[in-house]
Structure 1
């Protein structure tokens, strides 16, 4: 689309006109809170706005498409409600009237690029002040090309990979939709695998989560805030959402302020440091106060302490949900509390434009609060380039372009690097090309549950199934495919046919796990085991005596049981998206060696949740070989994971030597280098994720048994040895005390260079 430079008003020319000095003065003090020099142009623009126009900038509505008035539009876009053309025309006209009156600031989830153009044209040509709209959508792990879910990509331990896939997502979404903002990345630390939204983040570790948060922001935003093929990132959910009690979505959180700062805040800081100028308030409460109405979080912490100068948007109607929380008595009070707390934009609820003007007129809400929120919104629009070109990210000439072939190749690469090999008894994998294989399970032929949650813009062409992937590798006579059962329901005669297929094969690939709807938002699970019918299928297949390879489809860590747990090989394949079947077949057949590592801890049982590696040291641990009586344990199982954080195998064997440090002590302002010899003692090339952990065994605040400090990926040829070194600042050994002061005490620090969080021998260094 042509540049709309005719709509741009030079700031100096604008300032030659009348400026309401009173309003400028009233917000000058507030504007000083915003990073950078006060923008007189924006303040003068605010001075021209009515209360209704100001409140309108705080309102986000869903984008309605002009195509909705066509008969049978639902056949074009099944996500659209079943309106008649007449009803659709009325809704569209009402929304356009709201835009033209200047009472809309942001719009979300367009169905096509024409919707964006239609709405934006009204905003910049038919409104009094010509303020552009800003458009957002959920581009979480793909647009047309679907990449592995974020949790899977975190298993790569390669933030640069996530940066590349986020960049590809942005290119496709801007090309096809012309939007400006993505409600991603989700940077919540998730330590309870019952929580459905584990799949949307980077797992349980603070360092890993922080590095992936920064990488995804950089990838989405590309060359900067005005990149026409970049999306403004909106890290979410501020704050503590990943600690929902019992892993129940939307539930409250109960934690110390220290834990909030030490565990849940760092990924947000990393995202903001990487350039994010949006963030999203969370659904949950923190210490009894809903995040969306929590001034201590959204103003005192986020703005004053962290210096965030961007915009906070609510999660879907979370400002309205202050009523259900029992925090606000009605919509009017909810609007006041949320805006006063620092939530700038309300998503879809409509209570800001409905109540904010009257709240200001009655004196219940200080107009300075409103003006500052409007200032932040306008400032973000300006920083995003929309005042200079409201159609910056719109390119109608290429909107129908297909995803580049390079994006498919990237999806396959991302799939390779996300897969985690947990078990490979007797080196069953990789399979020989002439092996007779029975591919069995509800996901063998399935295409509906390949992408996982949060892939609403995937095209109608199905992602690659397991069947398709293995058909490309094996001769037709060497591949038998049976469903065996459904995801949660039996198929008449299904298990019998599956057993017959297994009996006729050399090896069974058993594709079991979760459906896409079992993970994601509002998909908490009380028991993180396989559905009963799949477990029955696994037991029946195991009884044939044939070797079994489990191909696990999942969006969280699972508690594996019985024949699944005891299978000869276990491969975690997550939800890998567009190239899923090909990526998995490449790994299983040995064309690519597995290199993924677990970003979450796999428990022995669901009841261990929340269970994560960086737990505080217990006063009653259970030493190996001792009775667990009166020790920290669950009856009937050890206090151990099934597979620990950071765990993953290659097709080769890797040996670690005891790490070494080259000095016995380090000063508090110094650094230390810890190294270990890593050797590939097997027959295959291998990519190893070498991890560096620490423990402070004696501190005034009880510390985690281990804490990840750094990691590196190295590729080793058979027989090759490498020295892998980590240079650590002594300041990395510090912790927060109860007053949130960073403390670095003199004393001993234990360091590990190891393949996962439960392995290796420690070396000690003294901080002096």
Structure 2
């Protein structure tokens, strides 16, 4: 087993580099927390310490096939350190009372939940939320989620999910912030700050849990839980920074991922959890496994439950989620010398420290206030914030002939399987949403269109042709009733409605459970039955607006060529229907910008803007050239590039200026550009700064995002937007894993997306 680590350890530990040097031991006066924990642990038996490492599910909702049993009895025996999937102050108080009143040392339980993109007030899925490019909005979404979740008894969230992903076949791309390292790191920091605030002991803050550590978004073939094999260059420069950003922001816990990493599963990977996370990064919180992650090491081929439990603890895992391998085997492993008592003590201490920081020893019931539950959840201001966030997340992909915004008069035909399903609006991983009371797009448009608009509705098609596939894609209460008539009859009904309308709105795409965990897809097309409906609607000659629901980039080449207007609405949360109506009718001007590249077809995957050049790059402006790096059947270009998005107005860029042409480390250059609203309505633009290192000791990406600003402009208004370029922004991990900025020539790009921009040149000197 030790040999498996050799590849990762070479050049990492010996070089003494990485993200940060190992922190030196410092002799410090014990804190109040240290004194309290020392005193408590001196009284604990080994069984009680192991009990603190056990995380069970309360059974209300699970993310796996295993459900915890005999939970109350285990709490009384001191065998439970934490619980999740249990909500409401009354239920949590009852469980906490058992721990506090019926155990020898009265140690309280920590209560967690998958609060991923909001609690009862659900915000857009994380991929959609990232498309706002608004850090204050994203932080506020986490702040509201924490306020509501803590009002319902919780104090720990399994979020943020910061996995970089460049493969849209992977269903969990919907849970992250896209493909970019810089943007993903900024969002990771904002989410941690939103959840934890500046004091974890406050009744309305909760502990964040950074996941999935690490490299989970790079699973082979886009298949969930699959293996990851990655070079150190890509790992350190592209995939690890968002986790590090969240750790540096003070995240209290980290969840280790399911995948193996270069041959060593993350849940048993000592280099990952101890050498990198703790020694190099200085993380001082606790590490929890994912759902039955330790048990799954058996299927990875690392031994039986006792062996893999010892492996995982020794590697650096502190808390075992649901599998109970720690609970049932660690004492025996200590007796056999396979696990040291000190390792159990370390893990137990970290978990007790988390409970101390949350204020649970001071008041075990501080999160069990029934009055807060009545007044803090689904507050009007929370719903308004969710509605605004959803509208900001939508990306206008096409608007030929200004079909949008819709007029608030005349007749609209609303067609498609996503038109009348409120349960699918919140999106995947919205386990706490009130699906029964979430309105559908049909209801939202009827509510917001105004008295002069008549809305006609027809299903138009089933979600997919295959009934079994549809069943798999509409789990967890997200059912969309099937129409069992012949497809032609269903489409004909839609056409009869469309003929009476002035404009057609086609609500198509994925159901919410077609993305998310265990929802990988080999095809990124709009489902077959919906595609045939869309073709029929276009043949009517009426203007068609495609309202696209999706949790991932889709292949929309045909749609882009044939449909006049495409509005990507992701899954917008509790207020999705109202927010979509706001944008469709022009109350809100769309300002979302893509955080993932949309391919022309699935054969281009993985495709991302910050790729590296080859020694035979395709000449600029060409589609194909023999003996160059290209395809025979399609160009290298994406359908929609990273950072792309349209508006109901237009923006012009001019007068790019650099304050000087060269600078040294410790100095900076100011890059300035003038942005003008050249259209007729007010709008928001995301001004994006990219940099290319033209010559490096290692190959460098053709372009990297290094800054952005979201600005608002009235018609005809201009604004000068400035960015400070520092040598720190130019650093990368070289072949020796040293974090350096190398002197040489650089190119700067500023524009509306990663493709369409102005450029200038500067030099970093010694």
Give the TM-score normalised by structure 1. 0.90
1:282-293 superposed matches below 5 A: 282-293=257-268
Match of 2:84 among 100, 108, 124: 108
Alignment correspondent of 1:428 = 403
Alignment correspondent of 1:161 = 137
Q: 1:194–1:528: 8 Å Cα contact kept in structure 2?
A: yes
**Whole-angstrom distance in 1 between the partners of 2:609 and 2:730:** 17
1:104-143 superposed matches below 5 A: 104-143=80-119
Alignment correspondent of 1:671 = 668
Q: Provide the secondary structure at the position in 2 that maps to 1:538.
A: helix
Q: Is 2:730 the counterpart of 1:733?
A: yes
Question: Kindly tell me: are residues 80 and 645 of structure 1, through their superposed partners in 2, closer, same or farther at Cα, counting changes over 3 Å?
Answer: closer
**Whole-angstrom distance in 2 between the partners of 1:193 and 1:460:** 26
The worse-fitting range, judged by mean Cα deviation, of 694-703 and 455-464 is: 455-464
Q: Provide the secondary structure at the position in 1 that maps to 2:254.
A: strand
Q: 1:646–1:757: 8 Å Cα contact kept in structure 2?
A: yes
Q: Provide the secondary structure at the position in 2 that maps to 1:643.
A: coil
- TM-superposed CA distance for 1:565, in Å, is 4.5
Question: Kindly tell me: are residues 477 and 298 of structure 1, through their superposed partners in 2, closer, same or farther at Cα, counting changes over 3 Å?
Answer: closer
Alignment correspondent of 1:369 = 343
- TM-superposed CA distance for 1:201, in Å, is 0.9
- TM-superposed CA distance for 1:618, in Å, is 2.1
**Whole-angstrom distance in 2 between the partners of 1:98 and 1:515:** 39
- TM-superposed CA distance for 1:114, in Å, is 2.4
Question: Kindly tell me: are residues 694 and 509 of structure 1, through their superposed partners in 2, closer, same or farther at Cα, counting changes over 3 Å?
Answer: same
**Whole-angstrom distance in 2 between the partners of 1:141 and 1:34:** 41
Q: 1:184–1:235: 8 Å Cα contact kept in structure 2?
A: yes
Match of 1:653 among 650, 654, 659: 650
Q: 2:61–2:85: 8 Å Cα contact kept in structure 1?
A: no
Match of 1:254 among 217, 229, 239: 229
**Whole-angstrom distance in 1 between the partners of 2:61 and 2:191:** 29
Q: Provide the secondary structure at the position in 1 that maps to 2:296.
A: helix
**Whole-angstrom distance in 2 between the partners of 1:197 and 1:522:** 8
**Whole-angstrom distance in 1 between the partners of 2:80 and 2:330:** 14
Q: 1:542–1:563: 8 Å Cα contact kept in structure 2?
A: no
Question: Kindly tell me: are residues 218 and 565 of structure 1, through their superposed partners in 2, closer, same or farther at Cα, counting changes over 3 Å?
Answer: farther
**Whole-angstrom distance in 2 between the partners of 1:752 and 1:31:** 41
Q: Provide the secondary structure at the position in 2 that maps to 1:399.
A: helix
Q: Deviations over 1:516-569 (max 9, x none)?
A: 111000111111111100111111111111111110000011111424652111
- TM-superposed CA distance for 1:578, in Å, is 1.0
Q: Is 2:638 the counterpart of 1:641?
A: yes
**Whole-angstrom distance in 2 between the partners of 1:252 and 1:480:** 48
Q: 2:412–2:504: 8 Å Cα contact kept in structure 1?
A: yes
Q: 2:206–2:358: 8 Å Cα contact kept in structure 1?
A: no
Q: Is 2:160 the counterpart of 1:172?
A: no
1:141-290 superposed matches below 5 A: 141-176=117-152, 178-290=153-265
Gaps of 5+ in 1: 1-29, 65-76
- TM-superposed CA distance for 1:577, in Å, is 1.2
- TM-superposed CA distance for 1:116, in Å, is 1.3
Alignment correspondent of 1:463 = 438
Q: Is 2:678 the counterpart of 1:681?
A: yes
**Whole-angstrom distance in 1 between the partners of 2:91 and 2:29:** 34
Question: Kindly tell me: are residues 308 and 79 of structure 1, through their superposed partners in 2, closer, same or farther at Cα, counting changes over 3 Å?
Answer: closer
Q: 1:688–1:713: 8 Å Cα contact kept in structure 2?
A: yes
Alignment correspondent of 2:288 = 313
Alignment correspondent of 1:382 = 356
1:692-711 superposed matches below 5 A: 692-711=689-708
Question: Kindly tell me: are residues 595 and 82 of structure 1, through their superposed partners in 2, closer, same or farther at Cα, counting changes over 3 Å?
Answer: closer
Q: Provide the secondary structure at the position in 2 that maps to 1:61.
A: strand
What is the total number of aligned residue pairs between the two structures?
A: 718
Match of 2:421 among 446, 453, 468: 446
Q: Provide the secondary structure at the position in 2 that maps to 1:689.
A: strand
Alignment correspondent of 2:13 = none
**Whole-angstrom distance in 2 between the partners of 1:209 and 1:116:** 34
**Whole-angstrom distance in 1 between the partners of 2:270 and 2:717:** 56
Match of 1:587 among 576, 583, 590: 583
Q: 1:672–1:730: 8 Å Cα contact kept in structure 2?
A: no
**Whole-angstrom distance in 2 between the partners of 1:644 and 1:658:** 24
Q: Deviations over 1:253-291 (max 9, x none)?
A: 111122212222211122122221101000011111000
Alignment correspondent of 2:6 = none
The worse-fitting range, judged by mean Cα deviation, of 162-171 and 280-289 is: 162-171
Question: Kindly tell me: are residues 415 and 118 of structure 1, through their superposed partners in 2, closer, same or farther at Cα, counting changes over 3 Å?
Answer: same
Q: Is 2:590 the counterpart of 1:614?
A: no
Q: Is 2:393 the counterpart of 1:418?
A: yes
Question: Kindly tell me: are residues 682 and 610 of structure 1, through their superposed partners in 2, closer, same or farther at Cα, counting changes over 3 Å?
Answer: same
Q: 1:539–1:562: 8 Å Cα contact kept in structure 2?
A: no
Q: 2:306–2:329: 8 Å Cα contact kept in structure 1?
A: yes
Q: Provide the secondary structure at the position in 2 that maps to 1:116.
A: helix
Alignment correspondent of 2:497 = 501
The worse-fitting range, judged by mean Cα deviation, of 328-337 and 124-133 is: 124-133
- TM-superposed CA distance for 1:32, in Å, is 6.0
**Whole-angstrom distance in 1 between the partners of 2:177 and 2:641:** 15
Alignment correspondent of 1:396 = 370
Match of 1:483 among 442, 454, 459: 459
Q: Deviations over 1:224-276 (max 9, x none)?
A: 21121111110101111111111111011111122212222211122122221
**Whole-angstrom distance in 2 between the partners of 1:164 and 1:587:** 21
Q: Is 2:28 the counterpart of 1:46?
A: no
- TM-superposed CA distance for 1:80, in Å, is 12
The worse-fitting range, judged by mean Cα deviation, of 471-480 and 404-413 is: 471-480
- TM-superposed CA distance for 1:478, in Å, is 2.6
Give the CA RMSD over aligned residues.
2.2
**Whole-angstrom distance in 1 between the partners of 2:214 and 2:64:** 32
Q: 1:408–1:579: 8 Å Cα contact kept in structure 2?
A: yes
**Whole-angstrom distance in 2 between the partners of 1:685 and 1:555:** 29
Q: 1:690–1:714: 8 Å Cα contact kept in structure 2?
A: yes
Q: Provide the secondary structure at the position in 1 that maps to 2:217.
A: helix
Q: Is 2:94 the counterpart of 1:99?
A: no
- TM-superposed CA distance for 1:388, in Å, is 1.1
Q: Provide the secondary structure at the position in 2 that maps to 1:752.
A: strand
Alignment correspondent of 1:760 = 757
**Whole-angstrom distance in 1 between the partners of 2:610 and 2:568:** 22
Q: Is 2:721 the counterpart of 1:724?
A: yes
Q: 2:117–2:126: 8 Å Cα contact kept in structure 1?
A: yes
**Whole-angstrom distance in 2 between the partners of 1:441 and 1:41:** 60
**Whole-angstrom distance in 1 between the partners of 2:656 and 2:554:** 32
- TM-superposed CA distance for 1:35, in Å, is 10
Q: 1:63–1:116: 8 Å Cα contact kept in structure 2?
A: no
Alignment correspondent of 2:7 = none
Alignment correspondent of 1:623 = 619
**Whole-angstrom distance in 2 between the partners of 1:521 and 1:464:** 24
**Whole-angstrom distance in 2 between the partners of 1:109 and 1:34:** 40
Q: Provide the secondary structure at the position in 1 that maps to 2:424.
A: coil
**Whole-angstrom distance in 1 between the partners of 2:29 and 2:144:** 31
The worse-fitting range, judged by mean Cα deviation, of 289-298 and 121-130 is: 121-130
